[in-house]
Chains A and B, each alone.
Chain A
Amino acid sequence: MSRTTQAPKGLRATGNFIDDRFHVAKSGEKNLRKVFPNHWSFMLGEIALYSFIILLLTGVFLTLWFKPSMTEVVYDGSYERLQGVVMSEAYASTLHIDFDVRGGFLVRQIHHWAALIFVASLVAHMLRVFFTGAFRKPREINWLIGIAIFVLAILEGLFGYSLPDDLPSGMGIRILQGVMLSLPVIGTYVSMFLFGGEFPGEDIIPRLYMLHILLIPGILLALIVAHFMILWHQKHTQYPGRGRTEKKVVGVPMFPAFAVKAGGFFFFVFAVTVAFSAFVQINPIHLFGPFSPTSITSGLQPDWYMGFMEGALRIFPNWFDFTIFGYAVPTGVLVPALVIPGILFTGLAVWPFLEAWITGDKRHHNVADRPRNAPVRTGVGMAGITFYGLLWMAGSNDILSETFSLNLYGTTWFFRFAIFIGPVLAFVITKRICLGLQRRDRATLAHGYESGTIQQLPSGEYIEVHKESPDEMVHVLRSKEPLDRTDTEDVDENGVEAPSARGLRGRLRTALAHWYTKDNVSFEGVEPHSGHHGQHEEIAPEQAETATR
């Protein structure tokens, strides 16, 4: 600390100018010193942020030429193949962006690729948070904000996809309208009001345009800002390791290291998006032709994030459609299009609260769980992924059927069964794997890791030499906490049930807590490299370290 470096005069002057007005030297330093834990999976959220920025930049560029109008025109623009064809102004203006604006084609492609990457990175980021338990107290609110961002991102993408008014994009709106009509009582009103009359009308694209470029991006921006302010305040979770405790976060400081790394990463994400846009054509609307409510091409695929809903619509049968007093309730539309996504998103939203209720865990958590150490959660997560993945695959059953020459209806039936069996299998298998890994962890902690070296003892016996695990590994292994379990406290010393365990709710909760924790492998009393199970004792990390020396 001997040398004090003076900032150059210009910088100092600017700094003083700002500080005179805002008094920010102290908080500024604190923020520049903010610590970012290191792990590749923390970059998933960054990808989402960067692709959102790319979407804003490219979206603004597109608005310079795009005309959100459904007025019919006869095309006489520069793309020869469609000259003389009747189309909406929206479609014609998109052709203009493609074939008259230099770089327009590219920017449209970047916008679309970035949208795909945006939603994909949101999903990946969300899964990371789920499987590591980073949604636990105190971060539940940020989890909910994340879900809201995810839902809005999907809507934003769907509406954007509908703007150019090409054949597939109009089909997306058509399906949207069909789903709206299925709503009991209000369906026809909702549809007539949103479309300004019957499908397709002349209003839907201007209205979606407003939602797409103003309302939803505005809300998204506000939510993203809130997400980051909360994150900044609560700080990141961190993976277990040396020195990383519930009280202290270890990592790279914002300035200078993280700023340069993250800046570089932004350019990488942008570069990859642009490279895709340059070399892999996406949504070539000039080949699809303008929307017409009377024609369609087979093998139509929505953007990937709508695939699960498409799949649900395909495999959900019409068996449960019913009428009530002569009014129709088409469950064959309602359930797959609204109820299933509703359950999926509601399930995601309530999970943190459900889990805390089951286990009775009211603690703050800053150190991430290793997925294996929460086998039921990890199993549920994998079951969810399997459910979603199967729906998503069912959304291209026609393509699967054609590619692998399968019977089309056969694929539908396959998915109708798989959607029930798959998630259960995924749960059971995942849980087994987690428990197996836990057992191996305990052995490694107690005996060191298997070195792969075989030794012959004087007695003639062969053994595999176990080496002492490195310090870091011991820290990671010891991060496993005993799972909280509410029902163990539910009986007092006289054997009387505590009030919390009584009644239907209490019993349900006890049963769930049992299910959540019953198979968990206990690490209690396992001393590093002790080779045997010692007596139960809380060991401070310091002592643990001495134990390894």
Chain B
Amino acid sequence: MTDNTTDHNKGEGAEGPDRVIGTPSSAEGDRLVASSADPHSEHEGPFPAEETHARPEEMQRKGEKVAAAWFTLAFLGGIIFFVGYFAFSSTEIAEPRIAQYSNVTLGGGLALALFGIGAGMTVWARRVMPHYDVSTPYDELPSSPEEKGSFGDFFMKGAAESGFTKRPLMRRTLLLAMAPLGLAPIVLLRDTGPLPGDTLKHTLWKKGMRMVVEGTEREGEATWIRAEDLGNAPGGMISALPYVQPTEEHPHGLSLNEQAKTVILLIKVGEDEWKPGMTEQQLNWTHDGIVAYSKICTHVGCPAALYEQGTHRILCPCHQSTFDAADGAKVVFGPAHRPLPQLPITVDDEGYLVADGDFSSPVGPTFWDVEKED
């Protein structure tokens, strides 16, 4: 094989492209029409002509037509997009079905427009433009020893001249001066949030607080949960929140933060179904076979929302931690470690279920000092 640096590129030295001489590859169009004796004579491109396998005129003409067809199609796609935009007004698309039509027309039109341009350009590159490979040398990467030496020499002289190495007092005080500035941004981040303190260990639940079904309108006494309600609850489980007077700011009465910590599962287990693992105290916290656990998984905090009545198992759908409701919500499978915290419950004089204090342990994902008493 031969390498030639072309005169075309005079003055550029090694940077300029060389040509690779080789037999044309068998890709269609590389070969030139047999009739023309010197196939390259007419072609004058930016790269050495002998290298270039110009497409036969026949093929180029066809290529042009095909590319033009694609571009025309792309134009039509663009038109469809505009038609779609004005056909469905911004009030009509409030209806999801219409929004879908609008989405399909706009998207379909746009996709067609883009695809047409892409396809047309590809045909242009493949059928109209000549095909050739060129080559350039890779740059020599390490500098020559002289260059390196010269640089090192220059740099060290400069550094010495600046006195940075020779004058330690100046150097050290400068570094000292930088230190507070480096720390400042970290200190400035302090007010991004309050210190944890013991906030993670307590919730809003207080002795005597009534409960409402989570996710319903929380107005009026009719929604307060009674012990009997558990008998009719589908699946033997109710997801509940403490009742708090709704406010302007929190139409649900509770902020999301409070909901995230106070939400409980009320589960009817049945007096004779408790497992021996339940302590006396834990049984005291139940009422008439009803037990309340935090709904927030102790793994990383998803709501453990699935309950299987027959087995009394609570399943967290995120990573499938499974807790046994008849056994103090101990973990029976999965990545969670701590049992779901239990909420002591009882009934008040009017027969409504109420909390009898705060949770037995901190709610939610396990953290560093979760087991430390304050």
Contacts and interface: CB of A to CB of B under 8 A. Distances in A.
A317 B22 CA distance: 61
Interface in B28-75: 44, 46-47
Interface stretch (A10-18, A274-282, A451-459, A506-514): A274-282
Interface in B305-351: 305-306, 317-320, 331, 333-337
A54 to B, nearest CB: 10
A350 B223 CA distance: 60
Interface string A296-307: 111110000000
Nearest to B249: A72
Contact of B302 (A35, A196, A296, A366): A296
Interface stretch (B167-175, B177-185, B282-290, B365-373): B365-373
Interface string A402-432: 0000001100100000000000000000000
Contacts of A265: 118, 122
Nearest to A79: B94
A235 B138 contact: yes
B208 interface: no
Interface stretch (B150-158, B255-263, B269-277, B352-360): B255-263
A323 B371 contact: yes
Interface stretch (A151-159, A286-294, A375-383, A519-527): A286-294
Contact of A197 (B8, B103, B133, B193): B193
B135 A35 contact: yes
B354 to A, nearest CB: 20
Contacts of B22: 242-243
Contact of B103 (A105, A182, A184, A333): A105
A138 B138 CA distance: 11
B79 interface: no
Given A102-B93, A243-B22, A178 B193 contact: no
A546 B216 CA distance: 86
B118 A293 contact: no
B371 A326 contact: yes
Interface in A166-182: 171, 174-175, 177-179, 181-182
A286 B251 CA distance: 21
A188 B256 contact: no
Contacts of B93: 99-100, 102, 105
B225 to A, nearest CB: 15
A466 to B, nearest CB: 21
Given A294-B214, A294-B260, A260 B125 contact: yes
Interface string A112-140: 00000000000000000000000000100
B85, B112, B306, B368 interface centre (most CB from chain A within 10 Å): B368
Contact of A234 (B111, B139, B295, B296): B139
Contacts of B141: 138, 234, 364
B85, B111, B335, B367 interface centre (most CB from chain A within 10 Å): B335
Contacts of A199: 257, 260, 301, 364
B193 A260 contact: no
A30 interface: yes
B260 A293 contact: yes
A256 B129 contact: yes
A1 B320 CA distance: 73
Contacts of B89: 102
Interface in B89-123: 89-91, 93-94, 96, 99, 102-104, 106-108, 110-112, 114-115, 117-122
Contact of A185 (B16, B108, B193, B368): B368
A198 B317 contact: no
A247 interface: yes
A174 B370 contact: no
Interface in B1-47: 1, 7-8, 12, 15-18, 20, 22, 44, 46-47
A184 B366 CA distance: 10
B192 interface: yes
A58 B204 CA distance: 43
B303 interface: yes
A198 B194 CA distance: 9
A412 B46 CA distance: 62
A318 B323 CA distance: 13
B136 A248 contact: yes
A257 B129 contact: yes
A78 interface: yes
A437 interface: no
Given A198-B199, A257-B129, A296-B303, 5 more contacts: A35-B136, A100-B93, A270-B118, A295-B214, A323-B371
20 contacts: A74-B251, A78-B91, A100-B94, A102-B85, A106-B106, A110-B107, A178-B301, A181-B365, A183-B368, A189-B196, A200-B260, A235-B136, A243-B135, A249-B136, A253-B46, A260-B129, A275-B111, A293-B303, A295-B305, A330-B366
